Structure 1
C-alpha cells in the first residue's frame, strides 16, 4: 500500500512538471540548458523516475515555464509529498535488506544443528564405538534400582550426559520465556503489585543470565504516548532555522494539559525556512564590506545562503523568505497568526551593494505577506488581496508562505513567531535564520555593482554609462 502511495505522489509531481514543460514549447535539451542541468536529469524528473533532492531547480523550471502563482504553490506542495514518499521508500528498502541479511546466518545455524543431529545418530548405529560422547535422544529409560542390577560405569556416564542435556534445554526455555516477558512493552497503567513483582523477577533473572554470558533482552525505553520527532535536530527552545526542516518546539505550550492524558508532547508541525528567495533571478541584492575584486560571482538562489555566509553579506533594502509549514501527523493543525519581532535596529553600514543578476523582469507573488521594518511596530500584512490567517495544515496538505520585508533607513535584525493550535494543544514556533536573526539593511552610501550575463567581473553601471 505504501509503495502505491509513493508511486502516486511521485507521478503527480512528475505530471505537473511535464505539463509545464509541454506548455513552454521548449525541448528537453533547450530547457535543460536554461536550467544548467543535463537533459537526461531533466527527463528523469519529468517521467517520475527521480525526484530532485532540493526544491531550487524545480522552482527555476517553473519560472522559466512561466508558471502561475497557483501552479507554483501546487508544485511546491507536490514536491514535498514526493520527497517524503521517496524517504519512506528508502527506509522500507533498508529494512527489507536488513531482514534478508539475516537469512544466511539462520541457514548456517540450521545446517550446524542438522550436522550435530546426524553425528549423534551415527553414534547410535551398530558398530559405532560405545565410548563416543555423542548425545543420545532426550527420552530415557532409567532403571529401577530396586529391581535392576547396577548399570556399568559406561551406562552411568551416559545417564549423566542425558541429565545434563535435559537441564540445559530446560534452562534455555526458561531464559527464552524471561526474554519474551521482558521484551513485551507495557504502559504501566492498572498493573497491581503482583504484576510489578513478576516484572522485577524477570529483570533479575535476565541480569543473572547476562552474568553467565547469555544474551539478555532490555525493556523498551520509549515512554507512553511519545511520538518521535520528525528530525533529531529539533530545538527544545522552539526555533526553526533556515533550511532545517526540523520540528519546531513550542513556548509555553500545553500548560493546562495533564501530564498523562495520552497526548504526545511533540509539536505537530515542521517549518522549513529559505532565507533568500529570489522574486526574479536578479531581484536579490546584498551589501558586502569588500571591494569587487574580493567578491566572487553572484550566486543563484540555491547557493545564496552559502554565498551570504562566506562574505558576511546583508540583504539590501528588502529580503524575501519562504516558509514551508507541514503537519507531522494526520491531525489538522491550525496556524493562528504570524508575528514579526525586531531584535535590533541601527544605522546602515554604508557598504557596497552587489546584485545577483541583471536585465531581469518582474516575478510572481503567491501566498505573500509584507512588513515595513521602518515603522515603529512592524506587523505582517497580507498582499495580493489574499485572505489573512488562520490557515490549516496537515501531513498531506502543507502550506508555503512568502514574507517580504523592506527598509530604506535602518539596519534591522528580526525574526518571526508562528502561533498554532491542534485540539486542546497550542504553542508558538520561533523562526529565524539557522539560529540567528534575519538581517536586512538599507543601502546608504557605497557603490552598486552588477555582474553582466556572460561577464567575468563586477562592474559599476554608472561608471560605464558615463
Structure 2
C-alpha cells in the first residue's frame, strides 16, 4: 500500500491534490423546526380534518405528532395544521465572515378550498403562550408581504426584528415565521435568502421533504379539549388565531358552550 501511494504521488497525485478545489464550509448554517400543532403551550393550533367530529374517534388521547400512533391517525384522517404553522429557523453565522440575511419568502404551491364537512380540533392551553418576535404572512392576501409582532427579547437567542439584517458573526439567531390562511388552505415552502460577500444565496426550506400544509377552520365546527383523560370535547365559536385576536400571553379559557 505504501509503495502504491508513493508511486501515485510521484506520477502527479500531489499536483492533483494541490489543484483540487475542496468545498468550503457554509458561512450560514440553517436549521428548521416546526412547532407541533398539538403543542398548545408553544402556540400550536391543532388540526383540521375533512370529517365531522363524530367520524374521528377519540382525539383526546393523541400524543405528540411525531408519536407513531398519532402520526398514523393523522395520516389516515387526512389532517392538516389548523389555520397556521409556526416555523422556527435557527441561523448560525460563521465566525470567519460577515453575512446579511436579506429576506424570507413563501412559495405557494397549491391553494385549497376549505373542507365543507370538516372539523377543527385542538388542545387549549393554560400555558404562557407565544410572544417571540414573529414574522406573519397572510397567504389569503399576499405570500410575500409580512408584518412583525412580539417581543424581540424573549428567550436566550437573539431574534430578527426586521430584514435585511446582519447577524453578529458566530452568534445564533432565531427567525420565527408564521404563514396563515383563514379563507383557504395552502401547500407551500419557504425561501431564505442571504448574501455572503458578493454572492447571493437562496435556500428552499420544506417540512422534511414535504410541503407545509395548512387548512382554515370549518365554520361552526371548532372544538377544543384540555386533553385530560376522559374529558369531553367542548365546542367554541369560530375564533381567530391568537396573533390576530388576543395578546400571545393570554391564558384565559374560552367559555364552555358545548353540549
Residues 328/316 of structure 1: CA separation in 2 closer, same or farther (3 Å cut) = same
The alpha-carbon deviation at position 412 of structure 1 amounts to: 1.4
Aligned to 2:30, the other structure's residue is in SS state strand
Q: Give 1:275's match in structure 2, choosing from 21, 28, 34.
A: 34
Contact 1:374 1:408 in 2 (8 A): yes
Residues 299/222 of structure 1: CA separation in 2 closer, same or farther (3 Å cut) = farther
Residues 453/434 of structure 1: CA separation in 2 closer, same or farther (3 Å cut) = closer
Contact 1:450 1:458 in 2 (8 A): no
CA distances 1:306-331 after superposition (whole Å, capped 9, x unpaired): 47556432111222111112236632
Contact 2:44 2:86 in 1 (8 A): no
In structure 1, stretches of 5+ residues that fail to align are: 1-174, 184-197, 204-217, 228-263
Higher relative contact order (CA 8 A, sep 6+): 2
Q: How many residues align?
A: 224
Contact 2:41 2:125 in 1 (8 A): no
Residues 380/440 of structure 1: CA separation in 2 closer, same or farther (3 Å cut) = same
Q: How many Å separate the matches in 1 of 2:133 and 2:65?
A: 19
Number of the residue aligned with 2:102: 336
Contact 2:35 2:43 in 1 (8 A): no
The alpha-carbon deviation at position 448 of structure 1 amounts to: 3.0
The alpha-carbon deviation at position 375 of structure 1 amounts to: 0.5
Residues 426/319 of structure 1: CA separation in 2 closer, same or farther (3 Å cut) = same
Number of the residue aligned with 1:354: 121
In structure 2, stretches of 5+ residues that fail to align are: 153-160, 237-255
- The structure with the largest helix share of the pair is 1
Aligned to 2:124, the other structure's residue is in SS state coil
Aligned to 1:400, the other structure's residue is in SS state strand
- Aligned-pair Cα RMSD in Å: 3.7
CA distances 1:366-396 after superposition (whole Å, capped 9, x unpaired): 2311111111454233223763112334773
Number of the residue aligned with 1:316: 82
Aligned to 1:455, the other structure's residue is in SS state coil
Number of the residue aligned with 2:172: 398
Contact 1:292 1:458 in 2 (8 A): no
CA distances 1:216-242 after superposition (whole Å, capped 9, x unpaired): xx9998983423xxxxxxxxxxxxxxx
Number of the residue aligned with 1:299: 63
CA distances 1:408-431 after superposition (whole Å, capped 9, x unpaired): 211112221111111122210111
- The structure with the largest strand share of the pair is 2
Q: TM-score, normalised by structure 1?
A: 0.41
Q: How many Å separate the matches in 2 of 1:287 and 1:395?
A: 41
